[in-house]
Chains A and B, each alone.
Chain A
Amino acid sequence: MKESKSIFNRKESFRWISRSIETAVGSLPQISSKLSLKDLFDSFKFRLGIGRMKYTVPPGLYGVGKPNPESPVFVSANFKLSFDKLRKSLKEIDSWLLVLDTKGINVWCSAAKGSFSEEELKRQILKTKLTEIVSHRTLILPQLAAVGISAPKVMKLTGFKAIFGPVRASQIPEYLKAGMKASSKMRLVRFNLLDRLVLIPVEILNILKPLLLLFGVLFLLGFFKLKILSLRAFFPYLGAILVGIVLVPLFLPWIPGRYFSLKGWLLGALYALGLSFYQKSLTQILIYFLLLPSISAFFALNFTGSSTYTSLSGVLKEIRISFPLIIISLSLGLILAVFSLLF
């Protein structure tokens, strides 16, 4: 097989390939179920957004352990983090791993966007000659792939029975032990403190670039002795952004309200209240209350995209109600700020 051969030729760059497995249609790469330090370091780098566009695995069929024609087939995306999680959890499970070409995007997003699809599944089944390698006709897919994969359609298109495994790859051993039955807990997508915590560095990185630009502009203004907007005067607003992208995600389920923007506004108002104790000017306090909670509310609203439980209809409603209020409050605050500077 041409594809797998090219992988062997480039062995240096794929340390996770341990050796090859002979099958009815030629040799296939066998992958290690152990993550090396380099894998972990690469994941860490990826999480911090360094070189994030290139984190892919070549699509195709791989073997884990010593698979035979009766071994189960697991389907995954060609996003390296998804692939790593899967192979790590397949420790000591002789199996086949069918990696689809999802353009390096994770299972849930690629299924929602259409690259993790029945057609792509069919293409990889044909390309890898899977029907000649395994004797059974069953595929185990990650549950979240169901957003883009219809099991009845897979049966019609490929003749394979698609079974949805647990949401998280780490539960696969437990799932297999239970006779390929996912408990109701395995079926739920979670969003606990740790899940939210790992998202925060990315949230911060997302705003870093525009923020540095703004700092640059403020610095230049200071350089020309235009002290209207000093860097120091900006700190309270930076704090309001951090309330929205750090504190709201952390305390999400404990902040009252269902609207993300309301949660952000409440924490932002608390923050503005705290700052007010250090302010003597009533106008400045009013400016704080008009600007700071609205900034926090806006960034909290944006966190809907990172959460795993918001619906599009809900987000549309939230934008319809909260967004105009945020804009009004920000405008009033800015007008007041300009007037207080001029008079």
Chain B
Amino acid sequence: MEHRYLRNVVTLRYELEKCTGCGLCEEVCPRAVFRLHEGKATIIDRDLCMECGACSRNCALNAISVRAGVGCAWAVLTSKLRRNQQSCCSEPCCGG
């Protein structure tokens, strides 16, 4: 069964004109958000995006932008309390 999180929230942006069709975004995405279609990358399911940032980091032409971060409520809540950037990663976070 496919996991799906909230609709219409992710910050993923993509400019088709800049794409050269190298296919790296499709390769690095762990959620199958991109697919090459007629020599260009296309977003096939935006809501699947988990904002890990792998695609934008690997796009040589800066065609992709996303506010990368870890979707961890504990990290968000504790950083709000302590006013510092605290990531949650006590091991289980990103799963083993």
Contact = CB atoms under 8 A, between A and B. Distances in A.
Interface of A: 52, 81, 105-106, 108-109, 112-113, 143-144, 146-152, 164, 167, 182, 184, 187-189, 191, 195, 198-199, 202-203, 206, 252-254, 258-260, 301-302, 304-319, 323
B76 A315 contact: yes
23 contacts: A105-B89, A108-B94, A109-B91, A112-B70, A112-B87, A112-B89, A146-B58, A147-B53, A150-B57, A151-B58, A152-B24, A152-B60, A195-B95, A252-B3, A301-B73, A306-B93, A309-B3, A309-B31, A310-B72, A311-B5, A311-B51, A311-B71, A312-B76
Contacts, number: 159
A106 B94 contact: yes
B1 A167 contact: no
A71 to B, nearest CB: 23
Contact of B96 (A81, A315, A316): A81
B32 interface: yes
A81 B96 CA distance: 8
B4 interface: yes
Interface residues of B, number: 48
Given A189-B31, A253-B3, A258-B6, A313 B57 contact: no
A60 B27 CA distance: 27
B58 A319 contact: no
Interface string B59-96: 01000000111111111110000000001111111111
B14 to A, nearest CB: 16
A312 B30 contact: no
Given A253-B1, A309-B5, A147 B92 contact: no
B76 to A, nearest CB: 6
Contact of A313 (B2, B67, B88, B96): B67
